[in-house]
Structure 1
């Protein structure tokens, strides 16, 4: 699936610039039909009422953050693209939108849930390993983590607007082994879910305090 004509390592360094350049177009073309709703609801079912959620790679805040806010959750959105955060702030001025890179995640609080939907897979494999450690550290005991990844280990090029954009994934076993080190167990891992636009979804939960 990888395109041999592309330098994927170089492409991996350009993700922020690609989203800066394509923010308005990406937001306009991003489906708001919530095909991912069954997964969002599974994630939400693992959280307490009024839970604090970190949306890592929140984009313009719609539809993921908006859906959870509508359910009464407290959402903090972070994105490394200034243009995306500007759209989110303009659309939902009462929300908490932070210009931040999930690879450098260092907030002074922990969350009941962390989601990286159509964002985490833009990190290189090494970046994913270190970012999983940061995400685990920001999760409360019993907290939920949901990510879209790839079906197996590899690197490919996707598209945002007319630009190529980097994607990568570890293998399901690699995710399992890493998450176990940080006291998370995989609740479900579905490859190319036909009911969710062929997204590959990883849902995990951190052990409760009395289980650690």
Structure 2
């Protein structure tokens, strides 16, 4: 598949299975401790970018309820429509994250949970470099990425009528991409899922 085909598979998958992936009233789940930790690191009324925001639950909802100014980006029209309804205090845009052009130093934090791994692998290090420029000095990136390298699809994803596609490098590669973007990796954790799992990174733009 070409990269546009891959993007279309992801977009169609989330359009089709948005509610099966996450209900309107889903709780914070595993995200809760991460988001609480992020909130404690942020100034009041911080500007936060949620890349791959999905339906706005739980990330944008949590941060908006904590008083932060949240901008969410997602490739799925259905997900963005739900996010606007579920998190009316947020700003949500339907866009391809890898093609975003945002002002430098405009966010106190960028959150990208289980989303980078749906983007073409060649675009991922470039996006990480852009994220580093969007962060203000001292700003945080919280992201989950691949722990081991894999690219592939799953038919009948979530037992539904759609296919999903992923592509990710391994954790050490992501660490090097973060560092090459000028970010300081402050922690790396393994998040198990089924027989495998993901890597969770906290990275910070240096103060100067």
In the superposition, the TM-score normalised over structure 2's length comes to: 0.84
Aligned mate of 1:12, from 6, 10, 14: 6
User: Mean Cα displacement is larger for which, 153-162 or 52-61?
Assistant: 153-162
Mapped partners of 1:188, 1:67: distance in 2: 22
| Root-mean-square deviation (Å) | 2.6
Mapped partners of 2:103, 2:133: distance in 1: 11
Q: Hey, what does 1:97 align to over in structure 2?
A: 92
Mapped partners of 2:127, 2:25: distance in 1: 25
The answer to whether structure 1 residue 182 and structure 2 residue 181 are counterparts is: yes
Mapped partners of 1:31, 1:118: distance in 2: 16
Deviation at 1:11, TM superposition (A): 7.1
Q: Map residues 60-99 of structure 1 onto 2, 5 A cutoff.
A: 60-99=55-94
Deviation at 1:207, TM superposition (A): 0.8
Mapped partners of 1:139, 1:160: distance in 2: 34
Mapped partners of 1:38, 1:114: distance in 2: 16
Deviation at 1:27, TM superposition (A): 3.1
Mapped partners of 1:116, 1:139: distance in 2: 13
CA gap 1:58/1:24 in 2 versus in 1, 3 angstroms: same
Mind listing any 5+ residue stretches in structure 2 that lack a counterpart?
Answer: none
Mapped partners of 1:165, 1:11: distance in 2: 12
Deviation at 1:181, TM superposition (A): 2.2
Deviation at 1:96, TM superposition (A): 0.8
Mind listing any 5+ residue stretches in structure 1 that lack a counterpart?
Answer: 1-6
* SS state at 2:102 partner: coil
CA gap 1:170/1:43 in 2 versus in 1, 3 angstroms: farther
Q: Hey, what does 2:205 align to over in structure 1?
A: 206
The answer to whether structure 1 residue 171 and structure 2 residue 170 are counterparts is: yes
Aligned length, in residue pairs: 201
Deviation at 1:67, TM superposition (A): 0.6
Q: Map residues 78-157 of structure 1 onto 2, 5 A cutoff.
A: 78-108=73-103, 110-157=106-153
Q: Hey, what does 1:48 align to over in structure 2?
A: 43
Could you list the structure 1 runs, at least 4 aligned residues long, displaced by more than 6 angstroms after superposition.
7-11
**For each residue in 1:7-51, what CA deviation from the matched residue of structure 2 results, as whole angstroms up to 9, or x when unmatched?**
798973410111122223333289424222122222233322221
CA contact (8 A) 1:16 1:81 kept: yes
